[in-house]
Structure 1
Amino acid sequence: MKTVYIIHGYNASSNDYWFPWLKQQVEAIGHQCEIIHFDDSQHPEYGLWKHNLAEQIQSLNENVVIIAHSLGCLASLGFLSEALQGSKLFALFLIAGFNRRLPTLPELNQFIDQVSVNDASLRLSFEHRFLFFSNNDPFVPAPFSIQLGHLMNAQMVEVKNAGHFMASDGFSEFPQLWDKLSVLLKSAP
């Protein structure tokens, strides 16, 4: 059985967007799923988010799938760069990910500047790596996500006109993500 961790981003909660729907899909085929809760997502602090991740992710092993959205991608990559220490994980899904300052959200600069990502180590740590991006994301320009995808050597999936993959963009469900994730979970021993 795999354990899927869903990690939300800035100004979001565990009940937002497609997170509860995806949890239901994962559990319906017999796997575990936890949605990480970050304290004060309206005023993110990297140290606090890293602490939240360490408290809520029970184990890091070959049965773990990490699915992160937006700022949650960067927080997860920073946390995993320190926490993995040679451990192997099953899969990584980055949704609207980025690893540099966003011109549209300067209030996140301090958070972004504190995160150190060991991409070389992380590429070796995940058996499967995916990055989803949209051609019309108002917060994370597609080239920023593509750059992170190349850095992580991830399979990149463009979802046209998906905005920032939020409910206001029509994403209370995320079938494109489920298509990729379900194949991995169903084929897993």
Structure 2
Amino acid sequence: MENKAIIIHGWDGYPEEGWFPWLRQELENSGWLVQVPTMPNSEEPKIDTWVSKLAEIVGNPDEQTYLIGHSMGCQAILRYLSELSGKKVGGIVLVAGFLKLRPLETEEEEDILRPWIETPIDFSKVREAANNIALVFSDNDPWVPMEENIKLFKQNLGQETKIVKEHKRGHLSGNDGVVELPAVLEVITEYLKD
């Protein structure tokens, strides 16, 4: 059986954005099966449609399945895992993931975000469903306050959660010029050694 990676873009994201093509190529070069789907209605993401799309893409998860998310994609992964019962994935890497965001620019954006922030996630089920969990943050992310989110994630996912801090890489997106993200590849390589 081969290792399988699914990379989930964020709000207003798309499969060819930023570091996704680079990571896809790196993993495929190592014999991985990689999917980078287009998530539904990415300019106005909704929990139900994103989680059901992710479930459809993953199909039957196993311990050779690895989920990598960016921004809102991380939220979708957490919510998907909280609904898995009795199944496990090999690991997850959450890049610019958030449980709290800085204020957005418009009321419309706040309305889109609100359910994602206010709808609870069963983190005990997330911990049960993922063998390995790592988070990658940037110290100057304009939307995701790093230290506050690290604290929240550690409270909810456990103090042993692996944290990687990138320096001055914004929201770790294509708009920030981030077209390679070796930290993600390093984390996945570590997962495979465990």
> Is the structural similarity TM-score above 0.5?
yes
Using the size of structure 1 for normalisation, the TM-score is 0.90
Distance in 2 separating the partners of 1:33 and 1:77: 19
Instruction: Indicate how the Cα distance of structure 1 residues 173 and 97 shifts in structure 2: closer, same or farther if over 3 A, else same.
Output: same
Correspondence list, 1:128-139, <5 A: 128-139=132-143
Q: CA deviation at 1:41?
A: 0.6
What is the CA–CA distance in structure 2 between the aligned matches of 1:155 and 1:168, rounded to whole Å?
26
Deviation (angstroms), 1:143: 2.8
Contact 2:18 2:178 in 1 (8 A): yes
Question: Which of 138, 143, 149 matches 2:147?
Answer: 143
In 1, Cα distance between equivalents of 2:129 and 2:47 = 22
| TM-score, normalization by structure 2 | 0.87
Q: Distance in 1 between matches of 2:138 and 2:26?
A: 23
Matched residue type, 2:78: L
- Aligned match of 1:94: 94
Q: CA deviation at 1:110?
A: 3.2
Identify the range of structure 1 (13-22 vs 146-155) with the bigger mean alpha-carbon deviation: 146-155
Letter matched to residue 174 of structure 2: A
CA deviation profile, 1:120-168 (whole Å, cap 9, x unmatched): 1211222211001111000111134303430223201111111100123
Deviation at 1:14, TM superposition (A): 0.9
Pairwise CA distance, 1:4:
0.6
More strand by share: 1
Matching of residue 184 in structure 1 with residue 191 in structure 2: yes
Q: Which residue of 2 aligns with 1:50?
A: 51
Q: Which runs of 5+ in 1 are unaligned?
A: none
Q: Report the AA paired with residue 98 of structure 1.
A: F
Whole-Å Cα distance in 1 between the matches of residues 190 and 99 of structure 2?
28
- Aligned-pair identity in percent equals 30
CA contact (8 A) 1:137 1:162 kept: yes
Task: Give the Cα–Cα distance (whole angstroms) in 2 for the partners of residues 112 and 81 of structure 1.
Answer: 14
Distance 1:174 1:113, change over 3 A: closer
Look up the match of 1:62: 63
2:166 maps to what in 1? 159
User: What is the CA-CA distance between 1:101 and the residue it aligns to?
Assistant: 5.2
Which deviates the most, 142-151 or 37-46?
A: 142-151
Task: Work out the number of aligned pairs and report it.
Answer: 186
- For 1:99 and 1:35, how far apart are their aligned partners in 2? 23
CA contact (8 A) 1:67 1:92 kept: yes
**Deviating more after overlay: 144-153 vs 134-143:** 144-153
